[in-house]
C-alpha cells in the first residue's frame, strides 16, 4: 500500500481524528526534520517498554520495575474510599484538585445508550472484592455528567448490588455542569463536586 495512505489510515484511528486530519499529520511529518520523525517513532516504541499498567487501579504510569503505581502503593492514602473514573486523564484531574486521598479504579471507558462501549467489569468486581477485605467503606462514582456517564453509573450500581450492605456508593455532587466531562473540569468545580457527593 501507498505509505502516505497507510500512515494516514493508522493516524485516523486515533480518538477524535478522521481521515482528513490523519492525512494532514502525514504531510506535517513529511515537512518536518527527519530527527523529529525519529524522536516521535522512538517515543511510540518506548510506550510499550517504559510505561506500565498498574495491577490495582489499571492506570498507566511511568516505570519499569513496580507492579503497582504510586497512588496504590502510597500507605498514607485512605483505604476506606475507592473512586471509579472513566479514564486516566480523569484521575489526573481529580489529583490536580488535590482533596481526594483515597484509592482509584479506572473503568477504561463508558457505556453508550445504544449499547456500545465497554468497561472493565470483571476487574472491577475483583478489585472491590479485594478492597472490601481491606477496610473499604465507600465507592465514589466520578463519571462525566453526560448521558453516557449516567448510563455507566447505572451499570456499575447494578454490578455492585451484591455488595450493597457492605459498602456505600456515592456520586459526585452535580456542581459539574450537565454535559461536562470530568477531564476538562477545573479544580474548584471538582473540589465542590467531591465535597457535595451524595
Is 82 or 182 the residue whose CB approaches Zn ion more closely? 82
The stretches of the chain forming alpha helices (DSSP H) are 3-12, 19-31, 34-50, 70-73, 88-97, 121-132, 147-159, 187-195
Candidate segments 36-44, 67-75, 114-122, 189-197, binder of Zn ion by CB under 5 A: 67-75
Is 103 or 151 the residue whose CB approaches Zn ion more closely? 103
Of 35-54, binders to Zn ion (CB under 5 A) are 54
| CA end-to-end distance (rounded Å), the chain | 55
Measured at the CA of 19, the angle between CA 17 and CA 22, to 5 degrees, comes to 65
- Candidates 8, 11, 57, 111; binder of Zn ion (CB under 5 A) is 57
- Counting contacts by CB under 5 A, is residue 106 touching Zn ion? no
Cβ within 8 Å of residue 26, ≥6 positions away: 4, 7, 8, 11
Residue 56's H or E segment, with its range, is none
- Candidates 72, 97, 106, 139; binder of Zn ion (CB under 5 A) is 72
Is 106 or 176 the residue whose CB approaches Zn ion more closely? 106
Which residues here bind Zn ion, judged by CB under 5 A?
54, 56-57, 69, 72
Amino acid at each position: 500500500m501507498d505509505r502516505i495512505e497507510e500512515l494516514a489510515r493508522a493516524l485516523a484511528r486515533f480518538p477524535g481524528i478522521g481521515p482528513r486530519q490523519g492525512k494532514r499529520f502525514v504531510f506535517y511529518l513529511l515537512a518536518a526534520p527527519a530527527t523529529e520523525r525519529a524522536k516521535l517513532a522512538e517515543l511510540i516504541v518506548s510506550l510499550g517498554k517504559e510505561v506500565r499498567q498498574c495491577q490495582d487501579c489499571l492506570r498507566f504510569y511511568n516505570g519499569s520495575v513496580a507492579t503497582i503505581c504510586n497512588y496504590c502503593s502510597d500507605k498514607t492514602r485512605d483505604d476506606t474510599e475507592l473512586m471509579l473514573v472513566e479514564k486516566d486523564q480523569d484521575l489526573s484531574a481529580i489529583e490536580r484538585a488535590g482533596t481526594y486521598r483515597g484509592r482509584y479504579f479506572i473503568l477504561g471507558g463508558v457505556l453508550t445508550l445504544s449499547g456500545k462501549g465497554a468497561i472493565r467489569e470483571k476487574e472491577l468486581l475483583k478489585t472491590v472484592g479485594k478492597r472490601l477485605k481491606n477496610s473499604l467503606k465507600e465507592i465514589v462514582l466520578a463519571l462525566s455528567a453526560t448521558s453516557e456517564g449516567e448510563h455507566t453509573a447505572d451499570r456499575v450500581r447494578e454490578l455492585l448490588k451484591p455488595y450493597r450492605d457492605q459498602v456505600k456508593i456515592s456520586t459526585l455532587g452535580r456542581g459539574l455542569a450537565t454535559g461536562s466531562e470530568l477531564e476538562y473540569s477545573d479544580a474548584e468545580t471538582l473540589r465542590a463536586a467531591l465535597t457535595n457527593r451524595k
